[in-house]
């Protein structure tokens, strides 16, 4: 009786050992191949996701179980890159080129502009202001004047809001062929001489004014829209009636209107120009603009521009240098003698409180 009981116990122990062995083999295969039966995610995507979550670099040694799994996946992807059909490269290069990036034509997302070095070691307001004022009053390209008899000249080469109609750039040709589009950002009280002359020449002119009573109307050969351009879209979590006016980013308006490009962007947005310009730079909208006519206000820092006075001027200067990197060149500047001479609430180098500036995109139409 005791012998039979011993055989039964040994049989149960053997079966239990076999079952545990099978479970261990299954767990090992599970860890080696990962949760998904398909191929592992691309190496670059996995690295970016892990770093974006604030974790350690998967390429570094780790003692955690999750890190060991990632390390095995990295090794597996390297093996596939080296040995897959059509993925082998000559010369024994360790970096395989078989797998192109997911979106090679997509521009890298930017979250801030590149600040220029300080004008001097002292970080003084006077030195920053001197550099900035010299920059906005020194044209980078000259636009050849057109004949006074040319109908394009009327209202386009005189006054504070001037256009560059040089034949080296495409605007004059696009006006003559009635293929130009103009966006004017501002308030209804300001003069619309330039807009009217371009509309009469055959351009498609859109004026954005949040003070209008109607949402959209056509008047004097121009489209008027009860809309203002901002550096951010409305917050969807806030009811529309509680938000300040009807505002959208320029990229959103272009998309809503189905417009891919604007030949002339004129903006007098009452000290919101710095943050709007920053948004155009960061979102790459400037490549859709042919000429930028902008009034800058210098009597204070501007909406949501922080820092002490030298930091503010350095930020202004850095934004204008971003325009230069986007192939824009200054061709026109104008200061109104009737404006007070205030620069960040004080008289600095006898600077005016407002300047009207004109830039031409030298890559436009090429």
Tokens of 306: 């922080």
80/99 Cα distance (integer angstroms): 10
Using CA atoms, how far residue 261 sits from 180, 223, 227, 265, 294, in Å, is: 9, 17, 18, 10, 17
Residue with tokens 């056509």: 218
| Nearest CA among 290, 216, 305 for reference residue 253 | 216
Please count the helices (runs of H) and the strands (runs of E) in the chain.
9, 10
pLDDT at 158: 67
State the sign of the Cα–Cα–Cα–Cα dihedral 192, 194, 197, 202: negative
Residue with tokens 């005791």: 2
- Contact between residue 233 and residue 252 where contact means Cβ atoms under 8 Å apart: yes
Residue with tokens 């909208």: 285
| Nearest CA among 341, 364, 212 for reference residue 355 | 341
Tokens of 317: 């200067």
Q: Report pLDDT digits (tens) over 315-352.
A: 999 999 999 999 999 999 999 888 999 999 999 999 99
Q: Output the average pLDDT for the chain.
A: 78
- Residue 302: pLDDT over 50: yes
Domains and CATH numbers, the chain: 2-89 (no CATH), 125-361 (3.40.50)
pLDDT at 92: 40
Task: Using CB atoms within 10 Å of the CB of residue 198, give its burial: 0 to 12 exposed, 13 to 18 middle, 19+ buried.
Answer: buried
The arithmetic mean of pLDDT across residues 272-285, rounded, is 95
Beta bridge partners of 207: 184, 224
Using CA atoms, how far residue 272 sits from 58, 93, 161, 228, 298, in Å, is: 44, 52, 18, 11, 11
DSSP per-residue string spanning 273-292 = HHHHHHHHHHTTGGGGEEEE
- Residue 159: pLDDT over 80: no
- Contact between residue 320 and residue 357 where contact means Cβ atoms under 8 Å apart: no
- Residue 48: pLDDT over 90: no
The arithmetic mean of pLDDT across residues 280-298, rounded, is 96
Residue with tokens 């034509």: 105
Beta bridge partners of 229: 248
Q: Report pLDDT digits (tens) over 86-99.
A: 333 333 444 433 34
| Nearest CA among 208, 198, 162, 209 for reference residue 334 | 162
Tokens of 219: 């008047």
Q: Report pLDDT digits (tens) over 177-208.
A: 999 999 999 876 667 889 999 999 999 999 99
74/59 Cα distance (integer angstroms): 8
11/223 Cα distance (integer angstroms): 91
pLDDT at 219: 85
Please tell me whether the overall predicted TM-score, pTM, comes out greater than 0.85 for this model: no
225/211 Cα distance (integer angstroms): 9
Residue 318 Ramachandran class (φ > 0 left, ψ -120 to 50 alpha, else beta): alpha
Beta bridge partners of 217: 224
Residue with tokens 């970080």: 123
> Comparing 167-171, 191-195, 237-241, 248-252, which segment has the lowest mean pLDDT?
237-241
């Amino acid at each position: 009786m005791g012998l039979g009981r011993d055989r039964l116990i040994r049989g149960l122990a053997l079966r239990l050992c076999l079952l545990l062995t099978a479970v261990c083999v299954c767990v090992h295969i599970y860890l080696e191949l990962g949760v998904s039966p398909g191929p592992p995610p691309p190496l670059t995507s996995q690295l970016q996701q892990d770093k974006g979550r604030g974790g350690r670099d998967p390429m570094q040694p780790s003692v955690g179980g999750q890190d060991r799994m990632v390390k095995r996946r990295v090794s597996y992807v390297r093996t596939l890159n080296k040995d897959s059909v059509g993925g082998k490269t000559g010369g024994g290069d360790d970096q395989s080129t078989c797998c192109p990036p997911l979106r090679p034509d997509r521009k890298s997302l930017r979250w801030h502009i590149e600040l220029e070095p300080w004008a001097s070691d002292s970080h003084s307001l006077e030195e920053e202001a001197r550099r900035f004022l010299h920059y906005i009053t020194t044209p980078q390209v000259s636009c050849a004047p057109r004949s006074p008899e040319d109908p394009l000249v009327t209202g386009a080469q005189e006054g504070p809001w001037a256009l560059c109609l040089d034949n080296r750039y495409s605007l004059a040709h696009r006006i003559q062929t009635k293929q130009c589009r103009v966006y004017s950002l501002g308030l209804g009280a300001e003069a619309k001489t330039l807009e009217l002359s371009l509309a009469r020449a055959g351009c498609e002119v859109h004026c954005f004014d949040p003070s209008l009573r109607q949402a959209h109307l056509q008047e004097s050969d121009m489209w008027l829209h009860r809309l203002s351009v901002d550096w951010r879209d409305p917050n969807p979590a806030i009811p529309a009636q509680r938000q300040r006016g009807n505002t959208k980013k320029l990229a959103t308006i272009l998309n809503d209107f189905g417009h891919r490009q604007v030949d002339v962007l004129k903006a007098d947005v009452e000290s919101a120009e710095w943050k709007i310009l920053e948004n155009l730079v960061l979102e790459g909208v400037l490549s859709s603009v042919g000429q930028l006519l902008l009034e800058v206000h210098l009597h204070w820092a501007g909406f949501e521009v922080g820092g002490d006075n030298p930091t503010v001027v350095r930020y202004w200067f850095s934004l204008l240098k971003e325009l230069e990197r986007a192939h824009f060149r200054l061709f026109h500047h104008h200061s109104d003698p009737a404006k007070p001479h205030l620069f960040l609430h004080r008289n600095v180098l006898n600077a005016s409180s407002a300047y009207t500036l004109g830039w031409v995109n030298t890559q436009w139409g090429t």
